[in-house]
């Protein structure tokens, strides 16, 4: 009997959903990184470089997650 909700269809849909979610997360983190750089130019504080570094690390991790999903899913 052919069931519309078989395991292969559900597996494929979940893989696509994870890749799309990782892409949207990457776009969001890129926008946040741009906002951090804009804030750094506008508001100069003692910990601006630390926040900028954390934003860059976050962007690199989001990129690694997206590439990992593309390669391994």
Would you say residue 2 lies in a domain?
Answer: no
Would you say residue 20 lies in a domain?
Answer: yes
Would you say residue 1 lies in a domain?
Answer: no
Would you say residue 24 lies in a domain?
Answer: yes
Would you say residue 11 lies in a domain?
Answer: yes
pLDDT value of position 24: 97
Mark 63-73 as b/e (b = at least 16 C-beta within 10 Å).
eebbeebeeee
Would you say residue 41 lies in a domain?
Answer: yes
Total number of domains in the chain: 1
pLDDT value of position 41: 85
Q: Note the pLDDT tens digit of each residue in 6-29.
A: 778 888 889 999 999 999 999 999
Q: Note the pLDDT tens digit of each residue in 23-51.
A: 999 999 999 999 999 998 888 888 888 89
Mark 11-41 as b/e (b = at least 16 C-beta within 10 Å).
eeeeeeeeeeebeeebeebeeebeebeeeee
Question: Distances from the Cα of 23 to the Cαs of 26, 39, 43, in angstroms?
Answer: 5, 24, 30
Residue whose entry in the numeric block shows the structure tokens 């750094």: 40
């Amino acid at each position: 009997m052919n069931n519309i909700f078989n395991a292969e269809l559900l597996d494929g849909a979940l893989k696509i959903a994870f890749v799309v979610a990782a892409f949207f997360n990457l776009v969001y983190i890129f926008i946040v990184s741009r906002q951090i750089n804009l804030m750094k130019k506008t508001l100069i504080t003692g910990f601006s470089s630390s926040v900028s570094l954390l934003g860059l690390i976050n962007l690199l991790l989001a990129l690694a997650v997206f590439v990992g999903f593309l390669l391994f899913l």
